[in-house]
Amino acid sequence: MVKIEMDNAKIVEGLKGRDLLTLLDYTHEEVSYLLHKADAMKKDMAAGKMPNLLAGKTLGMIFEKHSTRTRISFEVGMIQLGGHAMFMNARDLQIGRGESVYDTGHVLSEYLDGVMIRANSHEMVKELAQHTSVPIINGLTDIFHPCQALADLLTVLEVKSSLAGLKLAYVGDGNNVAHSLVIAAAHMGMHVAVATPKGFEYNPNLLVKAKAIAVKNGGSVFETTNPIEAVAGADVVYTDVWTSMGQEEEAAARLEAFKEFQINDGLVAHAKKDYMFLHCLPAHREEEVATSVIDGPNSYVFQQAGNRLHAQKAVLASLL
C-alpha cells in the first residue's frame, strides 16, 4: 500500500504542469492513472461530491474547428472543478490575423492557467506549447485526439472491468482518432487490429511506435485491409466517420473506397457476442455504421460521449 501511494504521488507530481499533445509522451502508469482518476471523479460526481480542485483557475479554449463534445465537456468540467473556462474562436483572436504563435503563446501565459486548443495543424499546437508556460491540452489536431482516446478506454474499463488482453478492432480511416486510440490501447496492453482501405492506412511511423508500446505492455498491434479479420473475436469494435472536417471535397471518393468497411450486422457477427460498439461521434448513420448497430444493445456511444466529461476533468485536475 505504501509503495502504491508513493508511486501515485510520483505520477501526480510528474503530471503537474505537463502538456497533453499526444499520448506517445505518456507512460503506461500515467495513462492508467488518468483513467482511474476519471473513473473515481465520475463516481464522486454521482455521489454528489464536487471538489473545487481548480478554484481560481482559468482555462482558455481556442477553437479552429467546430465542436460539440470537446467544448461542452471541457467547459462543464472546469465549472464542476470550481474553475472558469473561456471560449475563444481562433478567428476572433489576433492569431487569426497573423500574430505569431510565439507572441500568442507568451501573451496567453500571462492570463491563463492552461490552454485547450482544437486546431487544424498539430505542428502549430506543438509550436504553441513551446512558447507557452502553462499546460497545453490537445483537443484535436489533424494527427492526434488524445482526450477522446482516454474517454474511449474509460468506457471499456467501465463495461469490461479491465483492459489488458482485450481485443480492440478499429475499422475505417487511419485518422487522428485512430492514431490516439491505438496508442492509448497499446499503453494498456490491449490487442489492437486496425482495418483500413488501401490509401487510407494508419500513419506508418506511428504504427511502429504503437507496436513498440504494445509489446512493452504485453499487447499487440496489427494492420490489415480485411475488416472481417480485424473484427474476428473482438471485444470492442470502433469506427469513425469516413469523411472528417476539411475533407468534404473527398467525400464521393471516400464513400467508394470505404464501402466494404461499414460496421453492420454482418460484420459484427464475427466479433464476440458481448462485444462493445464505440464511435467518437458525430456519426453518419447508414454510412460508416448501420443504424441497427449504433442503436443496438451492444452500443455504448452515449456513455462514451458522456465520459468525455470525466476524462477531461481527470486531465484538467492533473495538469492544472
Q: How many Å apart are CA 76 and CA 85, to the nearest integer?
A: 8
Q: Is 280 a catalytic residue?
A: yes
Beta bridge partners of 168: 192, 236
Closest C-alpha among 118, 25, 30, 109 to residue 66: 118
Beta bridge partners of 58: 84
CA angle at residue 48 from 43 to 51, to 5 degrees? 85
Q: Is 103 a catalytic residue?
A: no
Tell me 263's DSSP state: B
User: For residue 203, what is its C-alpha cell?
Assistant: 500513419
Amino acid occupying residue 64: E
Q: How far apart are the first and last CA of the chain?
A: 27
Tell me which of 113, 187, 280, 304 is the catalytic residue: 280
**79 contacts 54 by C-beta, under 8 angstroms:** no
Tell me which of 122, 179, 279, 308 is the catalytic residue: 308
Q: Is 130 a catalytic residue?
A: no
- The annotated binding site is made up of 67-70, 94, 118, 145-148, 176, 240, 244-245, 280-281, 308
Tell me which of 19, 80, 122, 148 is the catalytic residue: 148
**Residue 56's CB: how many other CB atoms inside 10 A?**
9
- The annotated binding site for carbamoyl phosphate is made up of 67-70, 94, 118, 145-148, 280-281, 308
- The annotated binding site for L-ornithine is made up of 176, 240, 244-245
Q: Is 240 a catalytic residue?
A: yes
Decide: helix, strand or coil at residue 140. Answer: strand
Q: Is 92 a catalytic residue?
A: no
Q: Is 113 a catalytic residue?
A: no
Q: How many Å apart are CA 60 and CA 92, to the nearest integer?
A: 13
How far out from the chain centre does Cα 109 lie? 25
Tell me which of 122, 145, 191, 254 is the catalytic residue: 145
Closest C-alpha among 280, 255, 268 to residue 175: 280
**171 contacts 203 by C-beta, under 8 angstroms:** no
Q: How many Å apart are CA 94 and CA 21, to the nearest integer?
A: 23
What amino acid positions are annotated as catalytic residues? 118, 145, 148, 240, 280, 308
